[in-house]
Amino acid sequence: MPRLAILERLRTNLPLIAPSMLKCDFGNLHREVELLEQAGAELLHWDVMDGRFVPNLSYGAMVIDKVRPLTEMVFDVHLMIEEPERYIDEYIAAGCESITIHIEATRQADAVLRRIREADCVTGLAFNPETPVAEVRDLLPWCDQVLVMSVKPGFGGQKFMPETLDKVRELQSLTDSQTIVAIDGGIGPSTIGPAAVAGAGLFVVGSAIFDQPDYSQAVSDLRAAAIGAESTGTRTSR
């Protein structure tokens, strides 16, 4: 599906819950994908780690490529790898419709984002908890999605860092309504509300889905919590 159609699909389904596949049961990957589709997840968040940019290894394009034909869900890849420019084409070829790189991982973020857009994919830029919004500001016109890391990247199951919500608020005010502000790390029933009120529209969730017995219940409860918080919170609508 072309970039604009994907964006339209994502925007009409806000707030979005994106299961982080880092936390899935890899021994039953096909079944996990089916359960997440049944749970109504609009997209899957694939965490790719290289053991250099983050102190952990996960999986790469060849795994994603094999899962691609099994589902209609949007594939949103989060590349926690050094020099993503060296690998980007593999993820495009594997059928990822949305590709997020880290600002800290490359000196060529603008060129990489341009390459992703040329391939008609959704562009995303992620930044670590210690990286200020000022570092990504000039690149915002190239971003369809901005991903605020609310934990230090590398592992699932970490504690949410509430101070990162200031960055969500800042990005919400700097971007137009076409940009999706996303948050990743430690999102669960008690943190999704404040993140939604701060202005996030896409929530990456690992443990709070995969540690639950019923994924459908978990996804719908999280979505309801985000919607509930947004409607009662002080967020400026846009």
HSE-CB for 56 with a 13 A CA cutoff: 13
Q: Does residue number 20 form part of the binding site for ligand DX5 (CB under 6 A)?
A: yes
Q: Is 50 helix (H, G, I), strand (E, B) or coil?
A: strand
CA distance 64 to 57: 15
- What token pair was written down for 111? 């060129």
**Residues acting as catalytic residues:** 47, 184
Shortest spacing between CB 102 and ligand DX5, in angstroms: 10
Which is nearer to Zn ion, 3 or 78 (by Cβ)?
A: 78
Which is nearer to ligand DX5, 46 or 175 (by Cβ)?
A: 46
* E strand or H helix at 117: helix 109-118
Q: Does residue number 233 form part of the binding site for ligand DX5 (CB under 6 A)?
A: no
CA distance 34 to 96: 18
Per-residue mark of binding to ligand DX5, 56-85 (x: CB under 6 A): ----------------------x-------
Amino acid at 197: V
Q: How many other CB atoms are there within 10 angstroms of residue 204's CB atom?
A: 28
Query: Binding segment for Zn ion among 32-40, 110-118, 180-188, 219-227 (CB under 5 A)?
Result: 180-188
Please select the residue that binds Zn ion; options are 32, 42, 47, 76, rule is CB under 5 A: 47
Q: Does residue number 156 form part of the binding site for ligand DX5 (CB under 6 A)?
A: yes
Query: Binding segment for ligand DX5 among 8-16, 117-125, 146-154, 226-234 (CB under 6 A)?
Result: 146-154
Which is nearer to ligand DX5, 131 or 158 (by Cβ)?
A: 158
Q: Which does 48 bind (CB under 5 to 8 A by kind): Zn ion, ligand DX5, none?
A: none
CA distance 66 to 62: 6
Shortest spacing between CB 97 and ligand DX5, in angstroms: 17
Which is nearer to Zn ion, 47 or 170 (by Cβ)?
A: 47
- Identify residues 69-98 at the interface with Zn ion (CB under 5 A): 78
Query: Binding segment for ligand DX5 among 19-27, 63-71, 174-182, 227-235 (CB under 6 A)?
Result: 19-27
Q: How many other CB atoms are there within 10 angstroms of residue 119's CB atom?
A: 17
- What token pair was written down for 238? 């846009």
DSSP-assigned beta bridge partners for residue 184: 149, 204
H/E/C letters for each residue in 120-173? Answer: CCEEEEEECCCCCHHHCHHHHHHCCEEEEECCCCCCCCCCCCHHHHHHHHHHHH
Which residues of the chain form contacts with Zn ion (CB under 5 A)? 47, 78, 184
Which residues of the chain form contacts with ligand DX5 (CB under 6 A)? 20, 22-23, 45, 47, 78, 151, 153-154, 156-158, 184-187, 204-208
